[in-house]
Amino acid sequence: MQKRKRDLLTAGSVVSCGRSPIDEIGVGGGRSRWNKRQRGLGSLLPVWVGLCLMMLLIPHTSVLAAPSTGWSELRLDKRAEVGHLAHYQGKLAGVTPAHPAEIELVARNQEHGNTVFRSRVQIKDGHFRFAVQFFDGAPHQVLLLAYRPGEAKPFATQQVQVDVETLPPPRSAQAKAFTLLLGITAVGMMIGSGLAFWRERRTQNRQNHETNEVAAGL
């Protein structure tokens, strides 16, 4: 009897100290889930690195690519022809009848370094429009300056490079000019020939008159 009790106690201790199949399954499942989680975090690591790089680079990119403050709906002609109008118009944000602004347009000849056009207008709704006619076929720089009334320093600026081209006159104008030049040349030649003939005739008559006087004196 005592031996049987000893065997039962021994068997009970073995069962209590050992791991049941359920425990083995729980431990194995936990390890597999942990391994999967590690693999998932490892696959997301490049994504996190890319997001961090984007957060570092986006502010610098936005600063470099940002347009001039306040300008919108701009139409700035970058090519112009001599004798034709070039248009510069747009809208300036933040301008109201209670807070007007002044827009100044300055056109400079980059080849000669002088200012060829300057105009300044006051706007109350933000919209402005300029029409400029260039007379020299050279590169120009057009500046738009926005001022608050009474202030000497502009709060917004915009510039554009303009290539001004010189166009040849039409064929009809060339033909008329050539005909006029030929007519003037022909009339000048006729007048010159007539004057030369008249001067030669006058000289010959004078010589004949002097010769007759000498002969009469003899």
pLDDT digits (tens, 9 = 90+) for 60-109: 333 333 334 478 888 899 999 898 899 999 999 888 889 899 999 999 99
CA distance 158 to 68: 7
Same domain, 56 and 84: no
Q: What is the pLDDT of residue 57?
A: 56
- Domains contained in the chain, number: 3
Q: What is the pLDDT of residue 6?
A: 47
Same domain, 178 and 198: yes
Same domain, 34 and 112: no
Same domain, 105 and 174: no
pLDDT higher than 60, residue 38: no
Same domain, 174 and 187: yes
pLDDT higher than 80, residue 29: no
Same domain, 207 and 143: no
Same domain, 160 and 79: yes
Same domain, 42 and 96: no
Q: In which band, very low, low, confident or very high, does the pLDDT at 166 lie, cut at 50, 70 and 90?
A: confident
Q: What is the pLDDT of residue 18?
A: 43
* Coil/strand/helix, residue 35: helix
Same domain, 88 and 149: yes
- 89: closest CA among 130, 126, 124, 120? 130
* Backbone dihedral angles phi then psi of residue 69, each to the nearest 5 degrees: -65, 130
- Let me know: does 88 contact 77? Beta carbons within 8 Å: yes
- Which of 33, 66, 99 is at the close of a domain? 66
pLDDT higher than 50, residue 141: yes
Same domain, 76 and 101: yes
- Which of 126, 149, 165 is at the close of a domain? 165
Residue range of the domain that includes 19: 1-66
- 146: closest CA among 102, 199, 189? 102
Same domain, 125 and 210: no
CA distance 160 to 78: 7
Q: What is the pLDDT of residue 205?
A: 82
In this structure, how many other beta carbons lie within 10 angstroms of the beta carbon of residue 138? 16
Q: Name the average pLDDT for the chain.
A: 76
